[in-house]
Amino acid sequence: MLPNNKKLSPLCILSILKEYSDENHFLKQEQIIEKVYNKFGLELERKSISSTIDSLMDFGFDIVKTRKGCYLGEREFEKSEISYLIDAVFSSKSIDSEHSRKLSQKLSSFLSLNDRKRYKYIYKSDQIVRTNQKQLFYTIDILNEAIENGKQVEFNYNRFYFDKEKNEQKRQKRYIINPYFMINSQGRYYLVCNLDFFDDIANYKVELISNIKILDTPVKPITKLKNCEKGVDMAEYANQNIYMFHNKTVNATLKILSEYSAEFIIEWFGTNARLYMKDNILYADVKVNEQALIYWCLQYGETIELISPQETRDEIIKNIEIMQKNYKN
């Protein structure tokens, strides 16, 4: 309960409108008075409600007044925006179930009480296969601080090994890392960085990082890394590394064997792909991480064929032969 201070009435009325009103649910003056008293213990006079709402409208709040009552129109987020964000959080495999639920609840609080009902499924967040990493947001905070201040970090990396002894040994190992930026890819959060003993870019899943600390030593400039002499554009890196593998980028030509498969090209490569017809056959030129390209071509191998580069094509053939041998056995 708040102290019975009339100066607080605009904030209380706005809070009630945010929570209980929308274009399908109007509030009359007497309902606003009742709800303000029940929630905040503040007694309001009916004659002050209209003038207070007018003041809020003058300040810029989109409050719609009708004969049926009034409601809060435009909010910080549109319903569709909140829906998109909640679904993204709910389906993310990088966030543990507790954080997924809490973050979804925070997002739904921007909606009216009635609109929140459609997101009851957020209470089933523990039924999604996801990480059990409880320190994800702490890790992100530390990484952001290190990146902002240009400092190295040290951490354990909890990749799973079936062999218990190897699993324990690897998880005890400390990694000294030069962090550059983070990317969300395929529902996972990755740190784009450099393992200090090497001269190339690496990607680490943020959810597998633990016991992180910032070091006093300055970060190695990304321009010192192999193939990064001109720096790295974050958007370009995300487009080329569709599976967040870290090895060389290649210019590739793909033959599209089914008209429906052109959709896969657009879905994964967007406007970065150049589609064209040659001898009545559809082709696409893309620039992409080589290992990711191999993985992608195996995924869509029935209807898409890699034409070049030849050495990458040879790697795909080698993979197919191994798979064929495995399945024959």
Span 228-252, average pLDDT = 79
Span 303-313, average pLDDT = 95
Amino acid, res. 197: F
Q: What per-residue confidence (pLDDT) applies to 282?
A: 92
Question: How many Å apart are CA 81 and CA 86, to the nearest integer?
Answer: 9
H helix intervals, 182-254: 234-240
What pTM was estimated for this model as a whole?
0.60
Domain boundaries, the chain: 6-72, 79-127, 136-232, 249-328
Span 166-170, average pLDDT = 85
Q: What per-residue confidence (pLDDT) applies to 4?
A: 63
What DSSP character marks residue 67?
T
Q: What is the largest CA-CA distance in the chain?
A: 84
Q: Each residue of 147-164: pLDDT tens digit?
A: 999 999 999 998 877 788
Q: Using 50, 70 and 90 to split pLDDT, how confident is the model at 33?
A: very high
3 pLDDT above the threshold of 70 = no
Does the domain formed by 249-328 have CATH 1.20.950? no
Question: How many Å apart are CA 160 and CA 7, to the nearest integer?
Answer: 58
Q: Each residue of 187-230: pLDDT tens digit?
A: 678 899 999 889 988 889 888 899 999 999 999 999 999 888 88
Q: What per-residue confidence (pLDDT) applies to 14?
A: 92
275 pLDDT above the threshold of 50 = yes
Q: Using 50, 70 and 90 to split pLDDT, how confident is the model at 2?
A: low
Span 259-279, average pLDDT = 86
129 pLDDT above the threshold of 50 = no
Span 129-139, average pLDDT = 68
Span 175-186, average pLDDT = 89
User: How far does the chain reach from its first CA to its final CA, in angstroms?
Assistant: 72
132 pLDDT above the threshold of 70 = no
Amino acid, res. 157: Y
99 pLDDT above the threshold of 50 = yes
Q: What is the mean pLDDT of the chain?
A: 86
Q: Using 50, 70 and 90 to split pLDDT, how confident is the model at 179?
A: very high
**Reported CATH class of domain 6-72:** mainly alpha
What DSSP assignment string belongs to 129-178? -----S-HHHHHHHHHHHHHHTEEEEEEE----SSHHHHHHHHH-EEEEE
96 pLDDT above the threshold of 80 = no
Label residue 85 exposed, middle or buried (CB < 10 Å: 0-12, 13-18, 19+).
middle
Amino acid, res. 112: S
Evaluate whether 269 touches 256 at the Cβ level (below 8 Å): no
